[in-house]
């Protein structure tokens, strides 16, 4: 029992999207009536069909069927020579089934799609586009890429200039567009151009693109600079007309509240501006060092008496020079009493070991100067208007050190006495 299969043509050709057919003759070589199913084997079997799909034959009888191949027009359809087999399967005797072989040659087709992203760009020095090339055919695509503009106002850099794209995949390239000439100011200008993608068949795909060329200086820059200049002028006027007078007025009021009036001019020693006569403290802007707070503006120590009235001094040139040194470590006296009215014009404070703490210079318990020791090693004051110490009044020097070691600050004073 069995079957015999014969093909009218064993070599067939077809292009994707078309149909090719061949006749199959089946003979029943068995001894009983049998039914045979016709099908195709191999890769072409995926898109093959038989009409009729089955044949019922008496013993020794023959029947025919038409087998058609219809490969789809898709990138998944393989191209080239594809072997196939036509099989007649016996229902009564499966072991007696028969197969006849042939070759189906599938042709190639091209289907290329390209897209430029973005189609329009903008910039002053250049812009970039991305080119996507899709190979929707069933053969490898070798594509070359070129770009040009009709007015020759642009330069192009295509990377890469050629693409090899397998079936069913996509390739990408960068297209850099650069203006041939630039301009600093003005309205933006549109620069059209074209990108061509040519495949193996020589038929290019032409894509339109454009670049909006802008000025190098943005339009908002000049208004922004003018606005900034206006703000600077407004700030200068605000400072000169409002803030600076207010600050000066507040400083003058603060000095007045502190009990002294700053002199319009004063001779400065190494330590800065001169304190006011009678023990007044130097103005804040002329402070000898951060943390120093000389003068009666500081709070006197508990129990200290208020400053006595100070008489106006006489001519400086009529006095007898006198000086001395006061210390807090016992090496020198810490106080001095004057038998005549003493006009003190200079003070030099010394802190040779840089101890931390506080010192004070007092006149009969009234604080003349308070200083922070850690802010200086040597500090001097010169007074254009002397500090007056009346006959019988005592000049005291005290120091309190908070750091370890000997507490050895001192003060040198000088001036003149007048009987």
pLDDT in tens, 345-369: 999 999 988 889 999 999 998 999 9
pLDDT in tens, 61-105: 999 999 999 999 998 999 999 999 999 998 888 887 889 999 999
DSSP states of 39-59 as a string?
EEESGGGGGEEEESSEEEE-T
pLDDT of 216 reads: 78
17 pLDDT higher than 50: yes
Q: Which two tokens stand for residue 224?
A: 């922004």
Average pLDDT, the chain: 83
Band of residue 111 on the pLDDT scale cut at 50, 70, 90: confident
More confident call, 317 vs 82 = 82
pLDDT of 95 reads: 82
pLDDT of 358 reads: 93
Structural domains in the chain? 3-106 (2.60.40.10), 112-213 (2.60.40.10), 269-299+318-418 (2.60.120)
pLDDT of 23 reads: 94
Mean predicted confidence (pLDDT) in 135-145? 90
pLDDT of 208 reads: 93
d(CA 248, CA 285): 11
d(CA 114, CA 203): 13
Query: Are the CB atoms for 12 and 22 separated by under 8 Å?
Result: yes
d(CA 370, CA 347): 13
pLDDT of 246 reads: 85
How many percent of the chain have pLDDT more than 90? 51
Q: What does DSSP say about strands 11-14 and 98-106: parallel, antiparallel, or unpaired?
A: parallel
234 pLDDT higher than 80: yes
Q: What does DSSP say about strands 80-90 and 204-213: parallel, antiparallel, or unpaired?
A: unpaired
Mean predicted confidence (pLDDT) in 152-164? 92
Q: Count the neighbouring beta carbons within 10 Å of the beta carbon of residue 294.
A: 27
pLDDT in tens, 252-289: 777 666 654 444 443 333 344 344 444 444 433 334 44
pLDDT in tens, 168-199: 999 999 999 999 888 887 788 899 999 999 98
Mean predicted confidence (pLDDT) in 317-327? 84
213 pLDDT higher than 60: yes
303 pLDDT higher than 90: no
Q: Is pTM, for the whole model, over 0.75?
A: no
pLDDT in tens, 32-52: 998 999 999 999 999 999 999
Query: Are the CB atoms for 24 and 49 separated by under 8 Å?
Result: no
């Amino acid at each position: 029992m069995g079957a015999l299969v014969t093909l009218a043509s064993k070599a067939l050709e077809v292009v994707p999207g078309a149909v090719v057919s061949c006749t199959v003759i089946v003979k029943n070589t068995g001894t009983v009536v049998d039914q045979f199913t016709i099908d195709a084997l191999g890769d072409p079997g995926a898109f093959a069909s038989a009409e009729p799909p089955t044949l019922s034959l008496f013993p020794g009888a023959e029947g025919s069927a038409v087998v058609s191949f219809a490969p789809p027009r898709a990138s998944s359809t393989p191209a080239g020579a594809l072997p196939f087999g036509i099989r007649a399967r016996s229902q009564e005797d499966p072991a007696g089934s028969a197969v006849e072989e042939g070759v189906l040659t599938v042709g190639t087709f091209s289907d290329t799609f390209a897209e430029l992203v973005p189609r329009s760009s903008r910039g002053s020095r250049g812009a970039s586009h991305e080119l996507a090339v899709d190979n929707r055919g069933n053969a490898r695509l070798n594509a070359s890429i070129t770009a040009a503009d009709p007015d020759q106002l642009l330069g192009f850099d295509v990377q890469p200039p050629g693409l090899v794209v397998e079936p069913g995949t996509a390739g990408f390239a960068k297209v850099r567009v650069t203006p041939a000439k630039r301009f600093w100011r003005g309205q933006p200008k549109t620069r059209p151009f074209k990108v061509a993608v040519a495949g193996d068949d020589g038929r290019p795909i032409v894509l339109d693109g454009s670049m909006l060329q802008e000025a190098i200086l943005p339009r908002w820059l000049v208004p922004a600079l003018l606005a900034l200049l206006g703000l600077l002028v407004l700030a200068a006027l605000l400072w000169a007309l409002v803030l600076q007078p207010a600050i000066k007025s507040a400083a003058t009021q603060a000095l007045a509240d502190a009990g002294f009036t700053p002199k319009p001019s004063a001779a400065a020693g190494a330590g800065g501006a001169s304190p006011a006569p009678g023990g007044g403290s130097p103005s804040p802007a002329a402070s000898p060092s951060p943390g120093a707070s000389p003068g009666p503006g500081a709070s006197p120590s508990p129990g200290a008496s208020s400053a006595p009235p100070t008489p106006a001094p006489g001519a400086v040139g009529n006095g007898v020079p006198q000086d001395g040194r006061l210390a807090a470590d016992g090496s020198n006296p810490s106080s001095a009493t004057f038998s005549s009215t003493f006009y003190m014009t200079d003070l030099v404070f010394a802190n040779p070991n840089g101890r931390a703490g506080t010192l004070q210079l007092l006149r009969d318990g009234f604080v003349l100067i308070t200083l922070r020791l850690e802010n200086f090693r040597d500090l001097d004051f010169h007074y254009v208007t002397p500090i007056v110490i009346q006959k019988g009044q005592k000049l005291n020097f005290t120091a309190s050190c908070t750091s370890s070691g000997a507490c050895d600050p001192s003060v040198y004073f000088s001036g003149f006495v007048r009987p």
